[in-house]
């Protein structure tokens, strides 16, 4: 079965009467992958929005309220849970083969009857930044790319996050010193010259989960390769923005996407 094909769709309670939520099961590399779909109920054609979450397993899982935020701005939003999560098949491997779950979710949006196939945007938060960058490089029709507090370099994550090293060694199969090629494969920063989508970087200067150096490096690399990149850096902000600034930023980035 073709990657991105929905094989099951189950309604999920939505706190917003204007947005419908569903748990979808879709195909990727022969695996049944789970994800959440948020769709405005009003008739019409919408831009697609691929939401790529951070974390791993139950850390940083997809939150319905977050998807509704973006769907309320006029997008049909798809958020894969990644393989092995929420009843899906396979094993999540931290931007390894689970990148194909994101690629297939992009195709799911492309095949959605109410999505403008020429206007699919890719968004990544935290670890989802790597997933989003990989997807936008793979899917050259990506209309725009937004990384919010996004990881771009797995070598840098291993260096900065001592608390994640044990997990990374287990999931990736070793250290960057022993298996540099495995970390290189998971670090799309070094292939960003292949990117064609205009890119927006959002980052707090005091982010200790994903240092702003991830965004600085990508911005320098993209500018050095004459790519379109814009940055919104927030002085004193951490990984999670205050609620008011969060809502304001969601609206602003949605408007930026629509202008691309």
Any idea which residues carry the catalytic annotation?
Answer: 126, 239
Cα separation, 49 vs 51, whole angstroms: 6
Q: Which residues pair with 125 in a beta bridge?
A: 148
3-state secondary structure of 4: coil
Contact 52, 102 (CB under 8 A): yes
Of 45, 191, 14, 62, nearest in space to 120 by CA = 45
Cα separation, 15 vs 17, whole angstroms: 7
Sheet order of strands, 19-28 included:
6-12, 19-28, 31-40, 75-80, 46-52, 115-125, 144-148, 199-204, 229-234
Identify the sign of the CA torsion 93, 193, 200, 138.
negative
Element (H or E) spanning 67, and its range? helix 64-71
Q: How wide is the angle at C-alpha 190 spanned by C-alphas 257 and 179, nearest 5°?
A: 130
Cα separation, 132 vs 147, whole angstroms: 7
Of 245, 244, 164, nearest in space to 202 by CA = 245
Question: Which pair of structure tokens corresponds to residue 27?
Answer: 């195909």
């Amino acid at each position: 079965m073709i990657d991105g094909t929905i094989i099951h769709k189950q309604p999920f309670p939505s706190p917003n009467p204007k947005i419908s939520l569903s748990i979808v099961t879709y195909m990727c590399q022969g695996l049944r992958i789970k994800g959440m779909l948020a769709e405005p109920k009003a008739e019409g054609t919408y831009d697609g929005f691929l939401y790529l979450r951070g974390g791993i397993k139950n850390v940083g899982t997809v939150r319905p309220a977050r998807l509704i935020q973006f769907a309320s701005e006029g997008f049909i939003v798809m958020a894969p849970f990644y393989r092995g999560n929420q009843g899906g098949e396979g094993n999540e491997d931290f931007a390894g083969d689970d990148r194909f779950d994101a690629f297939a979710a992009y195709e799911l949006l492309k095949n959605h009857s109410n999505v403008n196939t020429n206007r699919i945007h890719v968004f990544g938060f935290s670890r989802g930044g790597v997933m989003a960058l990989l997807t936008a490089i793979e899917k050259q029709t990506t209309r725009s790319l937004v990384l919010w507090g996004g990881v771009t370099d797995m070598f840098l994550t291993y260096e900065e996050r001592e608390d994640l090293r044990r997990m990374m060694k287990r999931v990736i199969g070793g250290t960057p010193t022993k298996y540099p090629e495995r970390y290189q494969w998971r670090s799309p920063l070094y292939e960003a010259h292949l990117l064609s989508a205009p890119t927006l970087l959002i980052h707090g200067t005091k982010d200790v989960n994903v240092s702003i150096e991830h965004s600085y490096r990508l911005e320098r690399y993209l500018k050095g390769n004459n790519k379109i990149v814009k940055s919104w850096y927030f002085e004193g902000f951490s990984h999670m923005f205050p609620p008011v600034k969060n809502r304001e930023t969601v609206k602003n980035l949605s408007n930026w996407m629509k202008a691309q």
